[in-house]
Structure formats: structure tokens, C-alpha cells
Chains A and B, each alone.
Chain A
Amino acid sequence: MRDNANHTPESLPPGPGVGYKPQHYSDILADPGPVRWLEIHAENYMGDGGRPLAQLRHLSERFPISVHGVGLSIGGEGRLDPEHLARLAHLVGWLRPASFSEHLAWSTHEGAFLNDLLPLPYTRATLARVCDHIDELQEAIGRRMLLENPSTYLAFAESEMSETDFLREVARRTGCGLLLDVNNVFVSATNQQTDPRACIDDFPIGAVGEIHLGGYDEDADDEGAPLLIDSHGREIADPVWALLDHTLARSGPLPVLIEWDNDVPEWPVLAGEAARAAKHLEKVAA
């Protein structure tokens, strides 16, 4: 009855995890350091065989795995791609991950996959569509999912509600949980010129099952206003660590993921970010 014997935990441990990159495979097995769980992008593990699946199978015997979808287009105006739903159901079926998450965004239009998390107007029509799609996904994979708040760079004139109100209503109607990306809150609040702390204070924190952290790049818009880009290509910025403390003070300990997808560093650098997350988590556990 050891809960490590068979890695099908119902949820992720409330400690640091990292986004898994194949170049870190041997390092992670040799010394995971503070890292207690791993997150993978679902779409990279949808081949018929080969090294990616073999490595994932092996890692899943050692670590709880979070499957993070980046391509379902939950906010798309069209119907969900039934082939992709089937691929997700297959992956979740054999891997039995500790968590499954996807994004409040769209990425496919009329069969063309645009490979970015594109923004949505927060209207009643969008809400109805997103809820239908989440119902369909949760039905297909046979489990509850977490929905992630996006990084946004612009506003829609037609939006009728705030992002937090939108997420609260999605969680209430579908029963899904939420993935709170604290970096995305900071990036979006800066770009939308709102208060990131107020956003965290208003966030439906009881539904949150996982936190994401990542690095951003700094730019400026046409008027010279700050424009932060969610690049996942560097260390997490100091104000985002501070916002993490603010979040954890409300939520208590949660699984916290370090995302580093571009210019991926050597393992010790990534493990160092995870160690930093562990320190922030210890502050709330104490």
C-alpha cells in the first residue's frame, strides 16, 4: 500500500515540478534534486512508438506525471477535433497521469493549427462554448481537468466580464479545476494595466490544483507602454516570485511547476529554479 508503488496518484504532490525536456532525461534519473513531479506536453507523446514514449514510460515509474495539452483549441469556434480528443483519451488511458490540464485559448481554425494560444473575448457566447468543450473533453478522458489562465497582449472591445469571473463560472458549470499560471497573471495584468495582486485576490483559489511559473521578455507597445511577452525562455522574474508568495498565502501549498521551453538551460539551472520554488513553498507550510 505504499503510494509510490504504483504511480497512479489522484493528484500531484504540493511541491516543485518541472516541464520535462528530453535533454534532461539522464540528469533527472541520476539526481532529480528538489523536483517531485514532471509535466509533459501531451502532443509530443502521440507517436506510435520510439524514444519519447519509452522515456515517458520509464519516468512515469519514478515520478507523478502531469499531462499538459497545448493543442486542443478549447476556445475554438468550431467543434473539438474528434481525432485529437481520441489521442488525448488514449494517452491519459495508458499513462494514468496524476493530472491533466489544458488552456483557456484557441489554436485551430477550420483545420489549420496555428501553434499559439490565441485570446478569447470574455462573452456569454464564449462561456457557453468553452463549457461545452470542457464537458466534452472531461467525458472523453474520463476525468476532471484543470483549465489554465492565459497570457494576453490585447483586449476585445466586446468582452462582457473579467477573466477571473469567466474562469469562476467555467469551473462552477463544468466542475473542472483551474491551473493558475502566476506568471501569466503578472504578464496579463501588466499588459492590460490592471493590478496583478487584485487579480490573485479575486481568483477562484479553491478550484486551483496547480501553479505555473515561467520567465517573460520585456517589450513596449506602439504607445511606449510596457508589453511583457510570455516567452518561457529565462529565469522567473522577481515580481513573479513575490506574486507567488501572495498567491500561496491565500491558497496554501500547491504543486508548483517551473516552465522553461525555449533556450532550455542545463539541468542544474532548471533544478535551481525548482529549489527556489521549494523555498517559497516551505514558507507557507511552516
Chain B
Amino acid sequence: MSGGISQAAFTKALLDPDRPAPASLTSPSGAQAGKRFDVYRNNVAVSLTEALGVAFPVVRKLVGDEFFTAMAGVFLRAHPPKSPVLMLYGDQMPAFLEGFAPVRHLGYLPDVARLELQLREACHAADARPIAPDALAAIPPEDLASARFALAPATRILRSQWPVFSIWQANSEEGAPAPIMRGEDVLITRPGFDPAPQCLPAGGAAFIEALMAGASLGEALEKAGGDTAGFDLAATLALLLEGGAITSILTRDSET
């Protein structure tokens, strides 16, 4: 094999704009590649920055385009994609934001990134058929406490000490109310193909997380009550049902 540049050296130069282009890469006249190598550098940085901008539109809006582009440049060099499937690229963004000094004053930013990541996960999660609207009412009352619920693969829960849903909504929808400083727990369902994030009542996150972990309705209620008094079971179940998030109910002797 003849000498020449390894892909390791090519990659190193590609990701470091301060390095010169590798010497064995040339123009047709034999000159150093220079600007010609920069085409590849630019393709990598621009395409991954674009992917991150599409992935985190609210984070981008909150910090501004110019800042986001600079920050994406730091992120993509520290965390290049680990897979050519870019639909979920950026799973390390929340942790990155937690450690990125220039955004330390924006304490809510990592949770906004978590919410945007979960929305994308929900988009691409497996399809599922929700139960019929009256299926829950059809369960004999004596079987309710022991019933177990299977939830759609798109279902996600995010607990935050920040008003993460209100911040997301105020930056995504026209005329959304201004966020009030409080913690918010978010439920993401996917009725049809579009993820629908909603704020959960107190105790709702603990309740749904328990269901997801395989607890019965009675056990999940205990978890919810343990968190807060006055848990609104009816409102929480309604959010799940309206979001098409319940795909089957398992009672002692039947699966609905």
C-alpha cells in the first residue's frame, strides 16, 4: 500500500478548523488543498448544525440563531453523531447544556432540550392502536384496582423544577400564555402521528411512571398519593385516554 493520509488524520483535520489541510491533499496543479478541503469541513459543520437546529427549535429560539450556531459548533465536535440515523441526534444535548458555561444562567435550558428530544422520540416511536373510548368504563369496579395498563411506545414523561411546558409552548405556539415560575411535569402522547405535550396535574407523573413500570392501577394510585394529596385520577386518566396512550388493559381474567 502506498503512503498517504489516513482517515484518522483526515477526520482530525476535518473537525479542527485551526489545523491546515493534510499535505497529501492537493488541487490539480499540485497546490495545497486549502479552500478545497474547507468544502468538506463546511459540509460537516453546516449539515450537523442544521440537524441540531431542526432537532431543538425552541432551544435555538431561546438563545438566538447566532449563539445557537456557535454552540452547535462546539457540541458537534465534542459529540459527533454515533449513528447515520440522525433523527435522534443530540441525545447528549441536555447534559452538554448543563455543563456549558455560557448558558449557565439559563437553568431551564437543559429541560427544554429534554422535552424537545422526547418529542422527537415520540414522533418516531412504534405505532400503536389505542383502546376503545369506552373500554375503561366496561371494567367491573371490583377489578379496577388490580388492572394493569399497557401504554403506547410514544408515551413520555418529563418532570421539571422549571415551567418547561409553558416555556416550550410560549416559544412554539402563537398566543400561548407567558410562563409562571413553578415546576411542571409533562406528559407526551401521540394521538395519530403528531406528539402532543401537556401539563400533568400534581402526582400525575408518579402515577403514569408507575403504570409504565407495570404497577396496577391501585399501586400507581398509592405512588401518586404519596407524592401529593388531592391527586386528580380522573383528569390524569382523561389525558391518557384523549392522547390515545392506553393500548390495552389487563384485568384478572381478561385483556381488553
Contact = CB atoms under 8 A, between A and B. Distances in A.
Interface of A: 43-44, 46-54, 70-73, 76-77, 81, 83-84, 87, 106-116, 118-119, 121, 123-125, 153-158, 160, 191-194, 219-223, 225, 227, 229
A28 to B, nearest CB: 18
Contacts, number: 158
16 contacts: A46-B87, A51-B123, A83-B83, A84-B84, A110-B8, A111-B82, A112-B80, A113-B80, A115-B51, A115-B86, A153-B33, A154-B36, A157-B25, A222-B35, A223-B27, A225-B28
B84 A50 contact: no
Interface residues of B, number: 51
Interface stretch (B42-50, B216-224, B246-254): B42-50
Given A49-B125, A115-B48, A158-B4, 12 more contacts: A43-B84, A43-B85, A48-B124, A48-B153, A51-B123, A71-B85, A81-B84, A115-B51, A156-B26, A193-B28, A222-B35, A227-B36
Interface of B: 1-8, 10-11, 14, 21, 24-29, 31-37, 39-40, 43-44, 47-48, 51, 80-87, 123-128, 153-154, 190, 193-194
Contact of A112 (B4, B28, B29, B81): B81
A118 B29 CA distance: 21
A219 B80 CA distance: 28
B25 A156 contact: yes
Contacts of B194: 51
A54 B127 contact: yes
Contacts of B83: 81, 83-84, 113
A54 to B, nearest CB: 7
A108 B125 CA distance: 26
Given A49-B124, A50-B124, A51-B123, A121 B44 contact: no
A222 B34 contact: yes
Given A123-B1, A223-B31, A116 B81 contact: no
Contacts of A194: 28
